[in-house]
Amino acid sequence: MRQNESLVANVDWALFAVYMLMLIFGVATVYSTAYNEDHPNLFDFSQKYGKQMIWLFVSLFLGLMVFLIDSDIYRKFCVPIYLFTLVLLVIVLFMPPVNGARAWLGIGTMGIQPAEFAKIGTGLLLARFISDVNVKQQTSQTVLLANAIILVPMTLILLQPDAGTFVVFTSFLFVMYREGITYDPLILKLVNAIPGVKFKQTWVGSHFIPILFVVVFLSLVTLLMSNEKISFGFLPGVIFSGFWSVMISLTIFAIFLSLVSRLIASKRERNRASLIILIAYILATLLAAIVNYGFQGLAEHQKDRIELFLGLKEDPDGEDYNRNRAMAAVGSGGMLGKGYNNASVASVESNHVPESETDFIFCPFAEEWGFVGVLLLVGLYMFMLLRIIMIAERQRSTFNRVYAYVVAMILFYHFAINIGMNIGFAPVIGIPLPFFSYGGSSMMSFSMMMFILLKLDSQRRDILN
């Protein structure tokens, strides 16, 4: 009895409220998008919104189950759970393909996607692994094992193939970075192989993951911009080549960073910060130049292939059909939107935006609610993400903290990529918008992820280490 009381008292109700709010918005959007005049009932199970309601209740039921089980089992049984999701990922490869990918387990539309649940399994195991590691005494084995935990499910997912979820798995790298998993042992082995060099520690090694991401991101941006002409809105009539736009943006960013660092850093740190920014700036421009001129050397059809691969080739009615339609839907929303159930571009019935109830659910939402709705949605997500980080930081146990970061990073990835592909900022790789998109697997997996977090958090005081 007492335990139950404390359970209720210790639940983070703010996070739970945002979660519930998002579910309600999500179902409302699915209802509006897939609305069928002949079946107006929300609980008409022949319709997508009816099915979504089933998934919603199943998810809440699963959540209740999670709450009734002692949170210790996630820590204890994380290896079997991880292995179970791996087995599912293997089995799914022998299923008949749906839309070109062997991602579905089950019959017809009522199947589940093991890849969604693999995120939880991987997240739990990674949390367990990191909580067992003494971060002060890392070896090459540590970082290799940590990477192996991620890479095995990633490989299986790539075999389906499911590029979206594959990319989402890289979010674990950021969690590893936060927890101090370092690539230094590997980097040192390489560097110290050079005769006469004897480093104990490298900056690149300890910050390997963000550096890797910056390099990849900057290379991609430079690649995409290399044959575009960009005009800056604030300078009428002035048009820069894409490469120079990247250079200018880098310069502005560097100046901005050094100003910020002057404001927040102590006197002693200022010079060091300025030096780091200067070196980073030089390296970044160098990288951009190499990518730009390397890319220009490529033949025209190779360029096209890269752009098509990234899903960023401008061709309104061809390769880039989805994104162009999606952007038209979002952009036509205006300040206040077209009103609930009034999406003209993104409704399922009009079918201009394919998958508008699943991967492109942001389109009908933005079209119907306008910028005001978007502000609310982005605000909810920001609140949720920052709240989870807050929860993470208040955990006594490393396991709980790592798991909380896993949840935050996965949600952030989905948010950034899903909305990014609706507004032309990310390639079109099909991943759902958590709690909004139609689909049982994503709703169940995200709900379970959320309830496990809430449960772990509610029992944070019971754990001593």
Partner 1 sequence: MNFDSRKYVLITLFILVGIIYTLRIFYMQVIDDSWHLRAQEIAEKRKEITPPRGVLFDRNGKKIVANRTYYNLMMVEDDMKNFDTVAFAELLGWQAWQVKKRFRDVREGEGTYYNKHTGKRTSNYQKIRAYPFIKEMTLEEIARIAPHLENFPGFYEEVTSMRSYPFANGANIVGYLSEVNREEVEEDHFYKPGNNIGRAGLERFYESELRGRKGIKYIVTSALNNAIESYAGGKYDTSALQGPPLKLGVDIILQAYGEKLLQGKRGCIVAIEPSTGEILSLVSAPSYDPNLLIGKRNISSNYPKLVLDQSKPLYPRPLAAEYPPGSTFKLLNSLIGLQEGVITPESGFPCNKSMVGCHDHTSAGNLADAIKHSCNPYFYAVTRRILQQGKKKNIYADAEVGLGLWAKYMHSFGLGSKLETDITGLRSGLIPDPAYYDKWYGHHRWAFSTIRSISIGQGEVMLTPLHLANIAALIANRGWYITPHFVKSIGKSGPDSLYRKKHFTMVDRKHYGIVIEGMRRVVHVSGGTGKRAKLKDIIVCGKTGTVQNPHGEDHSVFIAFAPMYQPKIAIAVFIENAKGGGGLWAAPTAGLMIEKYLTRKITEKEREKTILEAKFTYRE
- Stretch of 72-80, 103-111, 146-154, 328-336 contacting partner 1, by CB under 8 A: 328-336
Rounded-to-integer distance, Cα 76 and Cα 401, Å = 16
Considering the rule CB under 8 A, would residue 420 count as an interface residue with partner 1? yes
Rounded-to-integer distance, Cα 463 and Cα 465, Å = 6
Residue 327 CB, nearest approach to partner 1 (Å): 6
Considering the rule CB under 8 A, would residue 382 count as an interface residue with partner 1? yes
- Other CB atoms within 10 Å distance of the CB of residue 117: 21
Rounded-to-integer distance, Cα 377 and Cα 175, Å = 25
Q: Which is nearer to partner 1, 164 or 333 (CB)?
A: 333
Residue 272 CB, nearest approach to partner 1 (Å): 14
Backbone angles phi, psi at 157, to 5 degrees: -70, -35
Written as one letter, the residue type at 114 is P
- Residue carrying the six token digits 């958090």: 457
Residue 5 CB, nearest approach to partner 1 (Å): 32
How many residues form the binding site for partner 1 (CB under 8 A)? Answer: 53
DSSP 96: P
Residues 25-54, mask of contacts with partner 1 (x by CB under 8 A): ------------------------------
DSSP 101: B
Rounded-to-integer distance, Cα 409 and Cα 388, Å = 10
Q: How far apart are the first and last CA of the chain?
A: 25
Nearest to 122, CA basis, from 94, 146, 88, 150? 150
User: For residue 229, how far is the Cα from the chain centroid?
Assistant: 30
Contact between residue 329 and residue 347 where contact means Cβ atoms under 8 Å apart: no
Contact between residue 292 and residue 315 where contact means Cβ atoms under 8 Å apart: no
Residue 454 CB, nearest approach to partner 1 (Å): 20
Residues 95-134, mask of contacts with partner 1 (x by CB under 8 A): ----------------------------------------
Q: Which is nearer to partner 1, 40 or 339 (CB)?
A: 339
Considering the rule CB under 8 A, would residue 72 count as an interface residue with partner 1? no
User: For residue 341, how far is the Cα from the chain centroid?
Assistant: 28
Q: Which is nearer to partner 1, 70 or 269 (CB)?
A: 269
Residue 234 CB, nearest approach to partner 1 (Å): 13
- Stretch of 64-72, 237-245, 287-295, 409-417 contacting partner 1, by CB under 8 A: 409-417
Candidates 349, 394, 396, 461: give the one binding partner 1 (CB under 8 A): 349
Element (H, E) at 240: strand 239-241
Residue 195 CB, nearest approach to partner 1 (Å): 29
- Stretch of 14-22, 55-63, 236-244, 408-416 contacting partner 1, by CB under 8 A: 408-416
Q: Which is nearer to partner 1, 237 or 297 (CB)?
A: 237
Candidates 14, 135, 252, 255: give the one binding partner 1 (CB under 8 A): 135
Q: Which residues in the 186-215 window bind partner 1 by CB under 8 A?
A: 210
DSSP assignment of 341-373 equals T--SSSSTTT-SSTTTTTTTTHHHHHHHHHHHH
Q: Which is nearer to partner 1, 8 or 382 (CB)?
A: 382
Residue 457 exposure: Cα atoms within 13 Å on the Cβ side: 27
Residues 156-175, mask of contacts with partner 1 (x by CB under 8 A): ------------------x-
Residue 135 CB, nearest approach to partner 1 (Å): 7
Using DSSP's 3-state secondary structure scheme, residue 36 falls into coil
Residue 411 CB, nearest approach to partner 1 (Å): 10
State the Cα angle at 408 between 383 and 8, rounded to 5°.
Answer: 70
Considering the rule CB under 8 A, would residue 333 count as an interface residue with partner 1? yes
Considering the rule CB under 8 A, would residue 314 count as an interface residue with partner 1? no
Rounded-to-integer distance, Cα 258 and Cα 262, Å = 6
Greatest C-alpha distance within the chain: 79
Written as one letter, the residue type at 205 is G
Residue 359 CB, nearest approach to partner 1 (Å): 17
Rounded-to-integer distance, Cα 383 and Cα 377, Å = 10
Question: Structure tokens of 162?
Answer: 């499911």
Residues 226-265, mask of contacts with partner 1 (x by CB under 8 A): ----------------------------------------
Residue 464 CB, nearest approach to partner 1 (Å): 20
Q: Which is nearer to partner 1, 288 or 374 (CB)?
A: 374
Considering the rule CB under 8 A, would residue 457 count as an interface residue with partner 1? no
Strands, E assignment, 79-174: none
Rounded-to-integer distance, Cα 346 and Cα 322, Å = 11
Which positions touch partner 1 (CB under 8 A)?
Answer: 135-136, 174, 177-180, 210, 316, 324-325, 327-335, 338-339, 342, 344-345, 349-352, 366-367, 370-371, 374-375, 378, 381-382, 385-386, 389, 392-393, 405, 408-409, 412, 415-416, 419-420, 423, 425
